[in-house]
């Protein structure tokens, strides 16, 4: 089966020179290229790296089409430009004068590398089992961490459509378009997603709740499913801040999830509600229970009647992350519209959860000089090969300070 590619501003490439590929489009303008990437099933892009706009075009193309293999054509020996192209996402290079065999080999490698990366894409729902559980803060910071870990844009959808949604506010952005606009058009594709997303910081694409409750009520769950499926094809990671009720829209969104994070605090009502949610969505095997993960939020050591062990026993799930309590810092970050400092323990716990969700290896923490003397706490062990929540041998998360 041949793979489709797009040729941008390299007119000397003829179709017969690449028999293993189908040239779906020749483009000369940026918008023309992005439209082709958003509407056609294109696996690879060949572009002129000596063009002044090449770096910006690579960045824009990869934002529209996750998993795109990019090959740059250059007749220059400017190493700095090649390094910039690599940082932007260009996978391989071919030199002028073009050798068709060299170009075909570079394309095959680029397409295969990024094809393997695209299979790891995932959609993650974040659901607070009670109001005020802190699910929005978890979702927002998780989006930041996933984008930084994967070096790829992460989509964040605010599906708390009526009253509690606050993703746009958390990033201090005023949305020009909302989910109501996105679900009110025809087919949603990667190009449309890129045009309607707010980008409050590099790598985070926010899709805000509707401006009014009336607009929220007009959204149909089938349109939500279509929107999230399109996002799943366009982004390495898609995050959904879910509403606190199991409505038809919430159900449609949960069905699209590869993972569902239940955010709770260590109280009896929270644990009871979490059990009710699991029973409701997993009835008759409608949603596989091994896709559910538990996040304990606002943990204060030695102050809770419930414990992490009790939660795991009641819910029959290992806890993915224990996020410490720092309510004042989280509230200030929301008010300022900026994520927590990277040194904040709340953000550190969410970062570790992101590492586990992406299957990456967590680097060992540096031990302080007190720890080396046996007077302080040592670094955590490296956690690798994170397994599903039903696995009994998953390493237990470290209790935060």
Q: Which pLDDT tens digit goes with each residue over 35-80?
A: 999 888 899 999 999 999 999 999 899 888 877 899 999 998 888 8
Residue for token digits 């071919």? Answer: 94
Q: Which pLDDT tens digit goes with each residue over 108-161?
A: 888 876 554 444 579 999 999 998 889 999 999 999 999 998 888 899 999 998
What average pLDDT does range 21-42 have in this prediction? Answer: 91
Q: CA 238 to CA 226: how far, in whole Å? A: 13
Q: Model-level pTM?
A: 0.65
- State the number of CA atoms in the 13 A half-sphere of 172 facing the CB: 9
Reading the block at residue 185, the tokens are 């058009």
- Single out the residue of 150, 89, 141, 143 nearest to residue 120, CA to CA: 150
pLDDT of residue 398: 42
Q: What 8-state DSSP symbol labels residue 211? A: S
Q: Which pLDDT tens digit goes with each residue over 224-270?
A: 999 998 888 788 899 999 998 889 999 999 999 999 999 999 999 99
Mean model confidence pLDDT for the chain:
84
- Single out the residue of 257, 211, 390, 396 nearest to residue 317, CA to CA: 390
Domains and CATH numbers, the chain: 3-118 (3.40.50.2300), 122-372 (3.40.50.300)
Q: Which pLDDT tens digit goes with each residue over 292-332?
A: 999 999 999 888 889 999 999 999 999 999 999 998 999 89
Could you report how far apart the first and last alpha carbons of the chain are, in Å?
Answer: 54
Reading the block at residue 3, the tokens are 């793979």
Band the pLDDT of 162: cuts 50, 70, 90: confident
- Decide if pLDDT at 366 tops 70: no
Cα angle: 254, vertex 259, 261; to 5 degrees: 85
């Amino acid at each position: 089966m041949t793979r489709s590619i797009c040729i941008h501003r390299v007119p000397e490439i003829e179709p017969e020179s690449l028999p293993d590929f189908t040239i779906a489009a020749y483009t000369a303008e940026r918008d023309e290229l992005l439209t082709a990437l958003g509407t056609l099933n294109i696996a690879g892009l060949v572009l002129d790296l000596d063009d002044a706009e090449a770096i910006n075009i690579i960045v824009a193309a990869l934002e529209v089409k996750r998993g795109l293999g990019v090959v740059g054509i250059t007749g220059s020996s400017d190493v700095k430009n090649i390094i910039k192209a690599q940082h932007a996402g260009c996978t391989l290079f071919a030199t002028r004068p073009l050798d068709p065999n060299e170009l075909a080999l570079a394309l095959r490698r680029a397409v295969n590398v990024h094809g393997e990366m695209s299979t790891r894409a995932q959609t993650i729902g974040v659901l607070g089992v009670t109001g005020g559980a802190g699910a929005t803060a978890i979702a927002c910071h998780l989006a930041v961490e996933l984008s930084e870990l994967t070096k790829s844009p992460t989509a964040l959808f605010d599906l708390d459509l009526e009253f509690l949604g606050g993703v746009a506010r958390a990033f201090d952005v005023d949305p020009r378009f909302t989910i109501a606009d996105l679900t009110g058009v025809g087919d949603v594709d990667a190009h449309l997603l890129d045009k309607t997303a707010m980008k409050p910081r590099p790598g985070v694409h926010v899709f805000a709740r509707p401006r009014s409750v009336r607009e929220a009520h007009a959204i149909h769950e089938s349109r939500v499913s279509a929107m999230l499926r399109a996002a799943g094809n366009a982004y390495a990671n898609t995050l959904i801040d879910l509403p606190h009720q199991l409505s038809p829209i919430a159900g449609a969104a949960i069905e699209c999830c590869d993972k569902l994070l239940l955010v709770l605090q260590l109280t009896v009502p929270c644990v009871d509600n979490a059990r009710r949610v699991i029973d409701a969505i997993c009835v008759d095997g409608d949603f596989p229970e091994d896709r559910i993960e538990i996040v304990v939020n606002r943990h204060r050591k030695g102050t809770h009647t419930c414990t992490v062990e009790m939660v795991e026993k009641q819910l029959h799930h290992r806890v993915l992350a224990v996020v410490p309590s720092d309510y004042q810092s989280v509230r200030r970050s929301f008010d300022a519209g900026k994520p927590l400092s990277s040194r904040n323990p709340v953000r550190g716990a969410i970062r570790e959860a992101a590492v586990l969700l992406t299957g990456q290896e967590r680097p060992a923490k540096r031990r302080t000089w007190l720890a080396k003397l046996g007077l302080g706490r040592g670094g955590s062990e490296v956690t690798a090969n994170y397994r599903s929540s039903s696995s009994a041998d998953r390493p237990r998360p470290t209790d935060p300070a």
